[in-house]
Structure 1
Amino acid sequence: MTATKTLTKSVLHIASRLNGLTNLHFQGHYSAASTTVISPAVAKRNDLFSQEQRRQKEAVGRIEKIEVRYLGLPEDVTLAMNASISTPYNCAQHLSEGHCKRSALALIDGNVPWDMHRPLPESCTLQLLNFTVADPHIVNKAFWRTCSFMLGAALENCFTEEAQLQLHSFPGPNIKSGSFIYDIVLRSQTWAPNKVELRAISAEMIKLAAKDLQIERLDVSDELALEMFADSHYKHEQLPSIAQQNHGRVTLYRLGTHIDISRGPMVASSRFLGKCTVTVAHKIANEGENDALYRVQGVALPAGFTLSHVAYNTLEERAKKLNPARLPNEPFEDSQQQIA
């Protein structure tokens, strides 16, 4: 079997579920049609993430109280919370169930975007952001970044081991570009996914959204990050320069069992992803004798937002054009430009 046929067979297993077929093998973390299979490398990465998460919580020590001044509807209020333990989501729980459901992102002290599930280290003002705020730029940027992150997870779920998928990176979000992206390397120099395959990857993203998976953030040392990504050639290669730009620390995010590198912030949960279409995969360059670098692109709407078929089709067509964000094989001055 050629490399291209292997890739097609890998992706088409999800597509087969859309067409009632069952004869294709798929090794996916979230597949309803197969037993959950997690590679030893992914299992190790998750174990290390969870262990460090517990260690950081236990290291908090004596609980100190902080004042969080919530600014917003129905009225401003001051909350007594726990330093380095309480999160914006915990603050939302003190307000109402509606605040918990609607809040995608937080804003600290008026100008610092903050993950909903990231602990607050000290007293601050807090605003809870959703997609209907007066100036949605900040939350839209976090949403676009989250879409790229979820695309990486979906691509990992769509390919079998034979495809030798390697996640490379995703540049910082740019809403004006018309598409969110993830750059990957595959053991094929001729992969050109058809509509059914692209639809299959889109369906995998929607499946992740339906699970309402909390998106977890964790800052780790460069040594731990290198251990976690020891199996990932491109991530391992990027980590030293990323850590150097961030005082020896690396920011990671986890969605289910998928862990990736990103500066963040991201929206609180996968459920904020609504209508989604993976539109195209552009071949960017050959990587050695057998591999090639591809830029996979898509477009999405936040959950609850609707557009007419004509308007959304226009967005889909725009998202097929090669996204002009910096390519992984192009020089850059700031090493963190390679991650969102």
Structure 2
Amino acid sequence: MKMKRHVTCLMKKLTEKSHFSTLQITRFLSTQEAIERRSYLFTLEKKRQIENVGRIEKIEVQYKGIPKDCTLVMNKNISTPYDCARHLSEWHMESSVLALLDGNLHWDMHRPLTESCTLEFQNYKAAEPQQVNKAFWRTCSLMLGACATVAFKDTVPVHLHSFPLPDIRSGSFIYDVDLPTLSDWQPTHQEVLTLAAEYVKLCRKAVPLERLEVGEELALEMFVDNEHKSKQIPNIAKTNGKVILYRAGNHVDISRGPLISNTAQIGRLAVTAVHKLTGPTEDGVSQLYRFQGVALPKGVVLDHFAFSILMDRAKKLNPARSPFLKKEDPEINEQIENVAAQA
């Protein structure tokens, strides 16, 4: 009931004012309450942005590709590449991972189009797959964070920290998670399998990766329960005052994107390891653990032996530097490199 009172208060505040500076939200929400609250705020802001579009203008989208080139008349700032795919076929809707605008701009499938453009769809068989691969790896990391937040009991606080830039050559996608009450957790093989099962369950829900650009103030309000994200948001927003959020189901996280279109586009996967990176530090990190995994795009078939080789590689500590620890605590990044060198 406390959660509902917070949400009702927030809805009233949003109706009366366009900012959130006077709203005070307590920091003792459970993990599930925090997830639901962020998702609710995401829905509310998305609705507000659509309503603020005002008079609907038409744009021309010149589609290039299978089965033939054509011109689509869409709604400016409302229609998305996914909406364009709806006009073509179910195959376009299911297989398209990213959109390519005007031949060079990679665009989320669920991001509204802002002007007339040429449009191409990219799937996992793209001739130049670099951006598609990065979007896939980036999405896998974000979903690993979602998996971590739902895998533990409510009595175990889970504070997502961050994940580095996608690097397929590293052999694993990762998410660094702060587990303040687990001082020396060494997950058993069964616990790792349980994490993987939660990951598969999330992906099988086949939910879209929704993108939303919000102001710094709202982003801080959405992550008021997470001190790590709260510290990172001002740095992220310093360029233009905006923060890019993504939602998969109820899970909302920060990423500059782009991400793939749908969680069902993630195929065979495994959570391979959880490495402890550090204990309590002065910058507020209590117990930082690095969750790691490996996955294949949907439709990519690999036999058990070959996939086991990928899994074995993905178990080794990924030495990637955490983007938000460079200035906060360089000692942690140094520790990651040292441990990885000894592995």
Fold similarity call, TM over 0.5: yes
Gap change, CA 1:181 and 1:99, over 3 Å in 2: same
Q: Which has the higher contact order (CA 8 A, sep 6+)?
A: 1
Task: Output the CA distance in 1 between the equivalents of 2:237 and 2:83.
Answer: 30
Task: Output the CA distance in 1 between the equivalents of 2:241 and 2:234.
Answer: 8
Task: Output the CA distance in 1 between the equivalents of 2:56 and 2:235.
Answer: 35
Task: Output the CA distance in 2 between the equivalents of 1:330 and 1:218.
Answer: 25
2:251 pairs with 1:258:
yes
One-letter amino acid of the counterpart of residue 183, structure 1: D
How does the TM-score come out when normalised to structure 2? 0.83
Residue aligning to 1:208: 202
1:283 CA displacement: 1.1
Residue aligning to 1:23: none
| Aligned-pair identity (%) | 53
One-letter amino acid of the counterpart of residue 52, structure 1: E
Residue aligning to 2:93: 100
Q: CA contact under 8 A between 2:269 and 2:295: conserved in structure 1?
A: yes
Residue aligning to 2:222: 228
1:152 CA displacement: 0.7
2:261 pairs with 1:272:
no
Deviation per CA, 1:262-282: give whole Å up to 9, x if none: 001111111011111011111
Residue aligning to 1:56: 49
Residue aligning to 2:153: 160
Residue aligning to 1:183: 176
One-letter amino acid of the counterpart of residue 60, structure 1: V
Deviation per CA, 1:117-141: give whole Å up to 9, x if none: 1100001111111111212211111
Task: Output the CA distance in 1 between the equivalents of 2:211 and 2:174.
Answer: 20
For structure 1, the 5+ residue unaligned runs are 1-36
Residue aligning to 2:81: 88
1:162 CA displacement: 2.2
Equivalent in 118, 121, 130 of residue 125 of structure 1: 118
Matches within 5 A, 1:185-200: 185-186=178-179, 187-200=181-194
Deviation per CA, 1:62-88: give whole Å up to 9, x if none: 111111111111222121111101100
Q: CA contact under 8 A between 1:206 and 1:273: conserved in structure 2?
A: no
SS in 2 for 1:220: strand
SS in 2 for 1:298: strand
Task: Output the CA distance in 2 between the equivalents of 1:44 and 1:128.
Answer: 34
One-letter amino acid of the counterpart of residue 196, structure 2: S
SS in 2 for 1:230: coil
For structure 2, the 5+ residue unaligned runs are 1-29, 334-343
Equivalent in 294, 298, 321 of residue 326 of structure 1: 321
SS in 2 for 1:126: strand
Matches within 5 A, 1:240-251: 240-245=234-239, 247-251=240-244
Task: Output the CA distance in 1 between the equivalents of 2:79 and 2:190.
Answer: 44
Deviation per CA, 1:244-291: give whole Å up to 9, x if none: 03x000000111111000001111111011111011111111124993
SS in 2 for 1:291: coil
Residue aligning to 2:69: 76
One-letter amino acid of the counterpart of residue 32, structure 2: S
Q: CA contact under 8 A between 1:188 and 1:291: conserved in structure 2?
A: no
One-letter amino acid of the counterpart of residue 204, structure 2: A
One-letter amino acid of the counterpart of residue 185, structure 1: D
Q: CA contact under 8 A between 2:31 and 2:154: conserved in structure 1?
A: no
Residue aligning to 2:36: 43
Q: CA RMSD in A?
A: 1.9
SS in 2 for 1:259: strand
2:59 pairs with 1:66:
yes
How does the TM-score come out when normalised to structure 1? 0.84
Residue aligning to 2:17: none
